[in-house]
Structure 1
Amino acid sequence: MKLVRYGAAGAERPGLIDAEGALRDLTGHVEDIAGVTLTPEGLARLATIDPATLPLVEEPVRFGPCVGQVGKFLCIGLNYSDHAAETGATVPPEPILFTKATSAIIGPNDDVVIPRGSTKTDWEVELVIVIGKRAKYVGEAEAETYIAGYCLTNDVSEREYQLERHGTWDKGKGCDTFGPIGPWMVTRDEIVDPTDLTMWLEVNGHRYQDGSTATMVYKPAFLVSYLSQFMTLHPGDIIATGTPPGVGMGQKPPLFLKDGDVMELGIAGLGTQRQRVVADRG
C-alpha cells in the first residue's frame, strides 16, 4: 500500500494511492496515518479494504507529510561509503546518530526556508524507515518485522550550524522546514530490497546526486536493532538512513542553496519531491 496524508497544513486527511495511481480517501476507516494505524494489525485492517470502495479525491491536492504525529525523527550520518569519501571522512565503526526536530517536518512539495543568516544550506536525498511496532532491545534477525514501511526525505542541512558552531549536529539539521517527508509511505511488503533502490536529487534541473541505497553501510534492519538498544522505538517514529554523494558541500567549489532555487528528488518506488527554496523574510 501507498499511504498518504493530504490537504491543508495541519488539517491533513488520511488516504491511499490505488493501483491506477488515483488518490482515495480513508477518512472513516482511520483517524490518521500515524501510531496505531502503522502497527501490523492496523496495516492488516487497511489491506482488507477494497480501494475501489473508497471515495476518489479530485486532484491536484497538497500532499502533507506522509506520517503524522511523529514522535522521534532520528537520523544516521556518514552511512554511505561513497558520501563519506567525498567529505573526506571515514565510515565510523558505529552509526552516527543525530536528531531532527519534529517541527522541521513539512510536506514533500512545501517550500524550504533558508534560516536567517544562513550561507551554507545544503541538500541530501535519503531513505526513511517508518517504525511499525514498539521496539526495545530487538535482535537484528527480527528487526525487519518492526518496520511498517519506507518513505523519502530531503535531509536539508545548514553546514555552518552543523559543523562550525560547535556541539552536536542537531542545530544544523532541525531548522524549520528541513524535513520534508513523502509523498507517500510504502508498506514494507512492497519494497523487495530497500538496499537496492536508485536515488537522485537535482537543483535547478542539474543532477547532483545519482546514487543507490546499495552503498549504504549500516542497513535498515541493523539500524532498527542498533537504535533499539539505546531507546524504545514506537509506531510512527522515523529514521533517515543517510545520503549518497553529490551534496553541496562536496562540490568543488562547494555550492549551497539560495533564494529561488528548486530542488527535485526521488527514490525508486517511493515517489518524488519538489521544493522551492525561499529566504526567511519573517
Structure 2
Amino acid sequence: MAFVNLLHEGAARAAVPDGDHYRLLPSTGTLPDELGERIARGEDLPQLAQAATERVPAAAARFAPLLARPGKVVCLGLNYFDHAKEGGREKPTYPWFFLRAASSLLGHGEPAPLPAVSTQVDYEAELAVVIGRRGKAVRREQALDLVLGYACFNDLSVRDYQKKTPQWTIGKNFDASGAFGPALVLAEDLPPGGRDLRIQCRVNGQVMQDANTSSMIFGVAETIEILSECMVLEPGDVIVMGTPAGVGFARQPPVWLKDGDRVEVDIERVGCLANTVRRA
C-alpha cells in the first residue's frame, strides 16, 4: 500500500492512490491532515484509507513534500563505496551524517529552483526511510520494526556552497532542494531494509546513476542502530540513505543541472520522483 501528500485547497493533505484518482484520507477537522503529521500522531493509515471517499483526479494532482514538516531529516553521505571512491574518499568506517531542514524539501512534480548564486547544482538519487515507531538504543535485530515505509529522494546539492566548509549543511539546505516523494510505500510491501532494489537517476532521459540498494555500506537496520545510540527516533522522522556513483561533480567534464532539465529518481517497486529544474 502507498500514500501521498497532495496540495489540496491550499494545504497539504494525505491521500491514497486509486487508479486514475487519489482518495483523500478523512479530514480530522482541526488538526493538520498532511501525511507526516498523521504519522507523528500514530494514526492507522491503512484503516483511514478504507474510509477515504473524496477523490482528486490524478491528472490534476499537485504534490507537497511527502512529509511536509518532519521532526528530523538525517542524511548519509558516502554510503555507496563507488560514490566515496569517485569523490576521492576512503570507505567510511562510520556514517557521514548531516541534517536537512524542512524548508529544504520539495514535492514531486514541483519546479526545482536553481539558486541565482550558483551554477554547480548536482543530482543525487537516494532511498528515504520513514520512521513509524519510537525507538532509542535499538538493536539491529529489532531496528526494522521502527520503519513505516520507503520513498524516493533527490538530494539536489549546491556543490560550490557545500565545499565552502567541511560541514556540508549549507550546500544541502537551499530552499526546495530536497525532492521527496511521490509516494510512501509501506515496508511490508518491500524487501526488508529496502534492499535489492534497483536505483537510478536520469537527466533528460539519460541514465546518470544506476545501482542497487544492496550496495549501501550501512544498511537501514545498521543505520537505525547507530543513530538511536545518540538520538531518539520518532514517528515521522526521515533517514535518507545516500547516493551511488555517477553524480555530476565527479564526471569529466562535470555535469551541472541547468534550466529546463528534467531529473528523475526511479527506485524499483518504490516509484519515480520527477522534477524539472528552473532558474530562480
TM-score (norm 1): 0.91
Kindly state the Cα deviation for residue 117 of structure 1 after the two structures are TM-superposed.
1.9
Q: Which amino acid aligns with 1:76?
A: L
Indicate the residue corresponding to 2:191 in structure 1: 192
User: Do residues 31 (structure 1) and 33 (structure 2) align?
Assistant: yes
1:120 to 1:209, Cα distance in 2 relative to 1, 3 A: same
Any residues of structure 2 matched to 1:161-240 within 5 Å, and which?
161-163=161-163, 165-193=164-192, 194-240=194-240
Q: What's the RMSD between the two structures over aligned residues?
A: 2.0
Indicate the residue corresponding to 1:258 in structure 2: 258
- The 8 Å contact of residues 265 and 273 in structure 1, kept in 2 or not, is answered as yes
Indicate the residue corresponding to 1:48 in structure 2: 47
- The 8 Å contact of residues 161 and 172 in structure 1, kept in 2 or not, is answered as yes
2: CA distance, partners of 1:88 / 1:185: 34
2: CA distance, partners of 1:68 / 1:58: 21
- The 8 Å contact of residues 40 and 234 in structure 2, kept in 1 or not, is answered as no
- The 8 Å contact of residues 80 and 216 in structure 2, kept in 1 or not, is answered as yes
Q: C-alpha offsets along residues 66-124 of structure 1, whole Å, 9 cap, x if unaligned?
A: 22321111100000112112222112110000011210111011111122221211000
SS of the aligned residue for 1:272 comes to strand
2: CA distance, partners of 1:2 / 1:248: 31
Q: Percent identity?
A: 35
SS of the aligned residue for 2:148 comes to strand
- The 8 Å contact of residues 79 and 242 in structure 1, kept in 2 or not, is answered as yes
Any residues of structure 2 matched to 1:11-26 within 5 Å, and which?
11-18=11-18, 20=19, 22-26=21-25
Alignment size in residue pairs? 275
Kindly state the Cα deviation for residue 171 of structure 1 after the two structures are TM-superposed.
0.5
Q: Which amino acid aligns with 1:33?
A: L
- The 8 Å contact of residues 13 and 27 in structure 1, kept in 2 or not, is answered as no
Q: Which amino acid aligns with 2:256?
A: F
Q: Which amino acid aligns with 1:266?
A: D
Q: C-alpha offsets along residues 174-229 of structure 1, whole Å, 9 cap, x if unaligned?
A: 11111111111111111124111111111122111111101101000111111111
1:89 to 1:22, Cα distance in 2 relative to 1, 3 A: same
Kindly state the Cα deviation for residue 160 of structure 1 after the two structures are TM-superposed.
1.2
SS of the aligned residue for 1:48 comes to helix
Larger CA deviation: 123-132 vs 190-199: 190-199
Q: C-alpha offsets along residues 144-187 of structure 1, whole Å, 9 cap, x if unaligned?
A: 00111111110010111112x12400100011111111111111
SS of the aligned residue for 1:69 comes to coil
Q: Which sections of structure 1, spanning at least 5 residues, go unmatched?
A: none
Indicate the residue corresponding to 1:130 in structure 2: 130
SS of the aligned residue for 1:181 comes to strand
2: CA distance, partners of 1:9 / 1:220: 36
Kindly state the Cα deviation for residue 128 of structure 1 after the two structures are TM-superposed.
0.4
Q: C-alpha offsets along residues 8-32 of structure 1, whole Å, 9 cap, x if unaligned?
A: 59612111124x4642111236833
Q: Which sections of structure 2, spanning at least 5 residues, go unmatched?
A: none
TM-score (norm 2): 0.91
2: CA distance, partners of 1:50 / 1:128: 22
User: Do residues 103 (structure 1) and 103 (structure 2) align?
Assistant: yes
2: CA distance, partners of 1:2 / 1:17: 7
Larger CA deviation: 230-239 vs 124-133: 230-239
